[in-house]
Amino acid sequence: MSNSGVILVTFAALFWGLAGGIAGVLINNGWDPLLVSFIRGAIGLLFVLLWLAVRSRNSGLVYLRLWFWSILAGLGVAGNFAFYFLSIEKGSVAVAATLMYCAPVFVYLISFALRLERPSAVKWASIFLVLVGVVMLTRIYQVDGSALSLFAVITGLLSGLSLALFIFAFKYAAMQGSPQAILSIAFTTLVIVLGSTIDLTEIKRVPGSVDWPLFLILGVLGAGASFILYIIGLRQTPPALASIAGTLEPVTAAVFGVAILSETLVSSQILGMVIILITVTGLGIYSQRYKS
């Protein structure tokens, strides 16, 4: 284990958390969530292409399987960015970030369905607890209008499902080539997919707007530096510690939302958030200790 690895993973999680908050500011300023997602991914693409240029050996770009799984990973990260920001638009940064953090649960469900992993009582209990946390966080049981909008809940969960797809595809792509090659293909896919959903003339407004520094920071922290730091750090960090460090992302996003965007969370929502974070983190540690 390397202390530097833990530090890199922690900074990556911190940057992702800040990215959610910055996106919340941009969306509140009237920018389209899909445009914000596109620019985040486009800046991230520049970073990973530079990383690939510096570390081009053994990239695996000649293998068709690398391209297949990398494109699938790109669809996952495109969905993750877009659904996350759409959830923020209709809900809040804190809730959207926590719903996205449910991604490992979707990974397990996909693995169960494909018979890649055996279910167990602990895993099913963890999934149930996460569902309880989601209900408390979103307050969907309320009939007085205080529940989070259904659109925000669905897109938040879809962001987690998309992240699960990225994790799943990246795992198989990594068997064929280098992470910088995988991310280059994935972010290129993201740019193509999200670029087809937005009004490209709107991009011209960004450089001349007062918000252009926020777009730049979002891309650098939320897609460029964070992915590179996380992958490099993960090689030197035990999975259990990486799972714990990962909780910094939704916590940072929640603090940003409350402190900067004046979002509010009632006690039941905070309890739901805690249940989700503790359960998902514990599930990650358990799965590494008792691999089935």
Q: Which two tokens stand for residue 143?
A: 């009939």
- How is the chain split into domains, by residue range? 3-289
Collapse the DSSP code of 42 into the 3-class scheme (helix H, G, I; strand E, B; otherwise coil) and give the result: helix
Q: Which residues contact 70 (CB under 8 A, 6 or more apart)?
A: 169, 173, 181, 182, 185, 186, 189
Q: pLDDT tens per residue, the chain (292 residues)?
A: 557 788 888 899 999 999 999 999 999 999 999 999 999 999 999 999 999 999 888 899 999 999 999 999 999 999 999 999 999 999 889 889 888 888 878 878 887 888 777 888 888 888 888 888 888 888 776 655 655 788 988 999 999 999 989 988 998 999 999 999 999 999 999 999 999 999 888 899 999 999 999 999 999 999 999 999 999 988 877 766 777 777 788 889 988 988 898 888 888 889 988 998 888 888 777 766 666 4
261, 22 Cβ separation under 8 angstroms: no
What global pTM score does this model have? 0.89
The predicted pLDDT at position 143 comes to 56
Report the b/e string of 72-106 with b at 16+ CB within 10 A.
bbbbbbbbbbbbbbbbbbbbbbbbbbbbbbbbbbb
The predicted pLDDT at position 131 comes to 86
H-only helix segments in 114-149? 121-138
The predicted pLDDT at position 148 comes to 72
DSSP 196: T
The predicted pLDDT at position 289 comes to 66
The predicted pLDDT at position 288 comes to 65
